[in-house]
Amino acid sequence: MAATIIDSKIFGDMFSEADMRYVWSDENRTAKYLDVERALAKVQGRLGIIPQEAADEIVKHCDVRQIDWVKLKARTEQVGYPIIAVVNQINAACRDKLGEYCHWGATTQDITDTATVLQIREGLALVQRDLAEISAALASLAKKYRDTPVIGRSNLQQATPITFGYKMAGILAGIERHRERLAQLKPRVLVGQFGGASGTLSSLAKGAMETQAGLMQELGLGQPLISWHTVRDNIAEVGAFLGLVGGSLGKIAMDVKLMMQTEVAEVFEPFAPGRGSSSTMPQKRNPISCLYIHANISVVRQHAAALMDAMVADHERSTGPWEIEWVVLPEIFCLMAGALKQTKFVLAGLEVDAARMRANIDITKGLVMSEAVMMGLGPCIGREYAHDLVYELCRAALKDNRPLIELLAEHAEVSRHVSRAKLEEFCDPANNLGQAGHMVDRVLASLK
């Protein structure tokens, strides 16, 4: 019976995603234990550290389909760790006691950590796929709305006009940095573990480093310079990276939520009949995906902090911090998968109302163009005087509920220097988008 939101029959595919759940499932985790034991036997047989006959027999029985899950659960609860329970079953399945050579020179944490790294590799591949799709969706929006004016907002107040393409390109640049971070962290993180009891491989009288090198080559992982049983920055880095990704997804969700407000109504999540409806207010169109994104990434950040707690480990094999990773790492990946999925959905079908964006720029009757007016008047009457003059005219426009341009055109000092036509140019949002389009183009040109 599922008790967590990730595995819920009702909520599981809203908060998470099936492929990522499989990566962190008991079945896949155990299969990864077997992958490591199989690779270890193959390498040690090839090196002559264990008999080739034993290696062949062990390899034959490192098959997750042969696992007795009831026995595995009972033995794990008895011992406290699943690796011995897995090795017991391999040993029992092998003929002529050849299974005694299984796990030769290894310790529980070697197998567990290396299996975890294999799971991380699979999980990061899914994240990489989703980030590429999100990048493509943002690039499409940035290109399509490169020159579509929308009001910029500062402290939730109208600021100066930007373009919606500029808004999307700014977020896109951050996503691209995440993709770069992911490529950079892989060589540090995708490194296996094989060190024995205290990490020194004292359990193998010969061929220790050759075994380690061969094992990592067999699994497609990097060989560690030194054992990292209680030096866990690599695992914490994964959590920190996913926390950063979550922050960017949360930024998307936050802006979409705010822009969906009735009084704003500039963009909307994709429409489907009944989606976002209220049980009591039929007129409502609530954000849905954005809410799940917000919830998921908030928990991911807390879990990332827990992985940093897990770094504070005692001596060469820790007493508890290691198990923190067992609890939070699967949840970090599964919740992030859900946030990524919801973000892809939002961006792929985002509804953009360019007319409403322009109407919202105009609701202040030109006040949002005060900076452009000030800068336009500056060369004629001096910037400081222009600032004070425009400030007073803005106050008057608010008090009398009149368009700013009317007050500007009526002011003797202004009209002496600037024509009505020039004032209209100052007050046209399309003429005051700065380098927005150029910056969009720079971001799009940087995509690989």
Catalytic residues: 278, 317
Q: Which residue, among 49, 128, 50, 29, has the nearest Cα to 94 in the 3D structure?
A: 50
Q: State the residue for tokens 């426009």.
A: 397
Q: Answer whether 162's CB lies under 8 Å from 150's CB.
A: yes
Instruction: Provide the 3-class DSSP secondary structure of residue 350.
Output: coil
Question: Token pair of 217, please?
Answer: 């080559």
CA atoms within 13 A on the CB side of 107: 18
Q: State the residue for tokens 């967590």.
A: 4
Q: State the residue for tokens 């928990």.
A: 299
For 324, the enclosing helix (H) or strand (E) is helix 321-348
Q: Are strands 149-154 and 267-268 parallel, antiparallel or unpaired?
A: unpaired
Q: Given its phi and psi angles, is residue 50 left (phi above 0), alpha (psi -120 to 50 degrees) or beta? A: beta
Question: Token pair of 79, please?
Answer: 């011992």
The C-alpha angle 347, 351, 357, rounded to 5 degrees, equals 115
Separation of CA 351 from chain center? 23
Instruction: Provide the 3-class DSSP secondary structure of residue 221.
Output: coil
Q: Which residue, among 397, 323, 333, 319, has the nearest Cα to 363 in the 3D structure?
A: 397
Q: State the residue for tokens 């969009």.
A: 440
The residues that bridge with 191 in the sheet, in sequence order, are: 222
